[in-house]
A and B are shown apart, each in its own frame.
Chain A
Amino acid sequence: MDQFTINLLFVGGSFALYIGIAIWARAGSTSEFYAAGRGVHPVTNGMATAADWMSAASFISMAGLIAFTGYDNSSFLMGWTGGYVLLALLLAPYLRKFGKFTVSEFIGDRFYSQTARIVAVVCLIVASTTYVIGQMTGVGVAFGRFLEVSNTAGLLIGACVVFAYAVFGGMKGVTYTQVAQYVVLITAYTIPAIFISLQLTGNAIPALGLFGNDVASGEPLLAKLNQVVTELGFNSYTAHHSDTFNMVLFTLSLMIGTAGLPHVIMRFFTVPKVSDARWSAGWALVFIALLYLTAPAVGAMARLNITEMMWPNGGINNGAVTLEQIDNDKRYDWMETWQKTGLLNWEDKNHDGKIQYYNDKNADMQAVAEEKGWVGNELTKFNRDILVLANPEIANLPSWVIGLVAAGGLAAALSTAAGLLLAISSAVSHDLIKGAINPGISERGELLSARIAMAVAIMVATYLGLNPPGFAAQTVALAFGLAAASIFPALMMGIFSTRINNTGAVAGMLAGLVVTLVYIFLHKGWFFIPGTNSFTDADPLLGPVKSTSFGAIGAAINFTVAYIVAGMTKETPQAIKDLVASVRIPRGAGVAQDH
């Protein structure tokens, strides 16, 4: 059987499984559609949250970004796990006690204002849609490769699949399907990592192999990697090269954003008790950590493999890989398959029949290159998002592993896209239409408008996904910035401060959202349309602060504006103070109520 057939079998088989579960557990009533009847065990809920959470960004994109940058991109690892601490300590138990279905319901009730609720819905839609764009980028890469079509065709096919899938069921289908998706994605992520870790370090646990010794040279793996990449003029892998202030801000933005993303918070409405909400966050992080502890090993080991593949004779002085090897040697087949997607390319610029891969921006390297007759880096394109998917092929692993990784990557993108579409559709139908525009809408009409909202969201995301503002994980990072600047501060102040009133909260959310959105658009183009940006992240408007790191500043603006405005306007009424007091203690948490 050829690789294409094997990929189809794995991808098709896993899809059949998810759709089967979705049909088996199809949502009947509205309350089931949103919150699965609240009968979900903390461990199950944690696993589903992990699948929901770990998207194309975590699975497909993150290790690639770490591989090509090294230590500086540790922000992704700390940011996307550290946010769970904020979620578990500051939000989850209280939102569960509050006992409603959506994030914007809490904001609307706590700030006793329909305006606050609508502003929250808008924040939520903006952040979630940006997030879906990142997912679509990943879906395009994965489908492009496994159907052996261009990235664009892959994206369009992927959009149809995601839509058909998300429209099928609500949260209940999604909860059990996501458990299955978690199992598929974690197996797909760890198996190739274990193989590669054994090949390189002899250690079956990749997280330990990363700090172990390279079998071939006997040196520590990371020391070997540093030596190999610096020889080619790249930055050393383990040292800190980026701006420290920006790194701190970026990590903080990802953390706060994690705790502000509606599709993750919604998960904690589905556990039976307040005490379960606390455990749930922990279990979610356990399942997430299995991937996040493996990811840095995947990145470092893939970087070493790729570099050695480009210089198969042992370093820069012994000759690069030849065009003939790429054409004929089976170990280089992956380069030709990925070239078809348009995401990987090379060019023999100096016509010596070899492909020299080095950092042609490095001044010292330019001198070396001139001496050797090189006229530039000849591995002209290596999209970071292909690294994880190409990894098993690069390491020459059996074809079933490659098929499994295909299924895993799609599971990651699909599960998150479905969760986000659900959050968007419930925001539109439940909060906007039923809550504000037409309270008398029938349950049938509400479900219909939920599905229409999903369709619109996915069309917008697909259109923007064709020209994404960055690699999958970078686009997703923007979504986190938006969530950090708008939703998280409102939720936190709603629980921890009785002083913040309706006007304060609305002003804070609007200020945080608008300032962050404008900062992002100034750097990434208005509405992410390429070419309309006035600044770039290489030379940002405010010193070292990149648009991906702005979320933390947006959050600070939100808090500040809310406090100042609340101080100048009427005090919070007693009834709301009582509501806050009741949210703070677990006793009396019943089942959630619709209103």
Chain B
Amino acid sequence: MSDNSNNNAYWSANMRIIVVSLIIWALVSFGFGILLRPMLSGIAVGGTDLGFWFAQQGSILVFLAIIFFYAWRMNRLDREHGVDEE
């Protein structure tokens, strides 16, 4: 059924966007904010280092960017696959 294969294509495109978004999500928080902080300690930001900034502010800003990107991208994907709400 072509309807079915369209829905499957829509879903796998969605999954790809989710996976990439979640990789960035984990990278800025668990990565830059915690685990990779020692590697970023050379980059000074206002009396401390970049990892501290990511842990207390940077990650939050990136989270915002991810959610708005996802909303924008998915609403476009809905239309491309003709599954948006009329």
Contacts and interface: CB of A to CB of B under 8 A. Distances in A.
Contacts of A82: 25, 29, 59, 63
A251 interface: yes
B74 to A, nearest CB: 6
Main secondary structure of the interface of B (DSSP, over half): helix
B46 A222 contact: yes
A244 B84 CA distance: 44
Nearest to A222: B47
Contacts of A585: 7, 10-11, 83
B56 A77 contact: yes
A285 B18 contact: no
A559 to B, nearest CB: 15
A248 B30 contact: yes
Contacts of B83: 585-587
Interface string A214-232: 0000011111101000000
Interface string A271-283: 0011100110110
Contacts of A211: 45-48, 53
Nearest to A207: B57
B85 A274 contact: yes
B40 interface: no
Contacts of B52: 71, 74, 222, 238
Identify which of B18, B22, B29, B37 gathers the most chain A CB atoms within 10 Å of its CB.
B29
A198 interface: no
Contacts of A273: 85
A589 interface: yes
A17 interface: no
B59 A238 contact: no
A23 interface: no
B64 A586 contact: no
A247 interface: yes
Interface stretch (A289-297, A341-349, A428-436): A289-297
Interface string B1-41: 00000010011001000100110010001100111010000
B46 to A, nearest CB: 3
Nearest to A219: B47
A146 interface: no
Contacts of B43: none
Contacts, number: 140
B36 to A, nearest CB: 11
A235 to B, nearest CB: 14
A262 B70 CA distance: 23
B60 A589 contact: no
Interface in A576-595: 581, 584-589
Interface in B41-74: 45-49, 52-53, 55-57, 59-61, 63-64, 66-68, 70-71, 74
A247 B78 contact: no
Nearest to B52: A238
Contact of A222 (B30, B48, B55, B75): B48
A85 B56 contact: no
Contacts of B37: 240
A450 interface: no
A212 B60 contact: no
Given A77-B56, A244-B34, A584-B11, A89 B84 contact: no
Contact of B71 (A221, A248, A279): A279
A84 interface: yes
Contact of B63 (A226, A275, A285, A587): A285
Given A88-B70, A587-B84, A252 B47 contact: no
Contact of B56 (A74, A255, A286): A74
Given A82-B25, A585-B83, A587-B84, A251 B34 contact: yes
A278 B71 contact: yes
Contacts of B86: 587
Contact of B85 (A90, A207, A251, A586): A586
A221 B47 contact: yes
Contacts of B84: 275, 586-587
A69 interface: no
A78 B60 contact: yes
Given A71-B52, A274-B85, A296 B46 contact: no
Nearest to A201: B46
Interface in A512-570: none
A282 B67 contact: yes
A585 B30 CA distance: 31
A581 B84 CA distance: 15
B46 A220 contact: yes
A138 interface: no
Given A78-B29, A226-B47, A584-B7, 13 more contacts: A74-B56, A77-B57, A82-B63, A84-B67, A89-B66, A89-B70, A210-B57, A221-B47, A223-B48, A247-B34, A273-B85, A275-B74, A278-B67
16 contacts: A71-B56, A77-B57, A81-B60, A89-B70, A90-B18, A207-B57, A211-B46, A222-B47, A223-B47, A240-B34, A244-B35, A275-B85, A278-B75, A292-B60, A296-B56, A584-B10
Which 9 pairs of residues, A with B, have the shortest CB-CB distance?
A: A220-B47, A211-B46, A222-B47, A74-B55, A278-B71, A223-B47, A282-B67, A296-B56, A238-B48
Interface of A: 71, 74, 77-78, 81-82, 84-85, 88-90, 93, 207, 210-212, 219-224, 226, 238, 240, 244, 247-248, 251-252, 255, 273-275, 278-279, 281-282, 285-286, 289, 292-293, 296, 581, 584-589
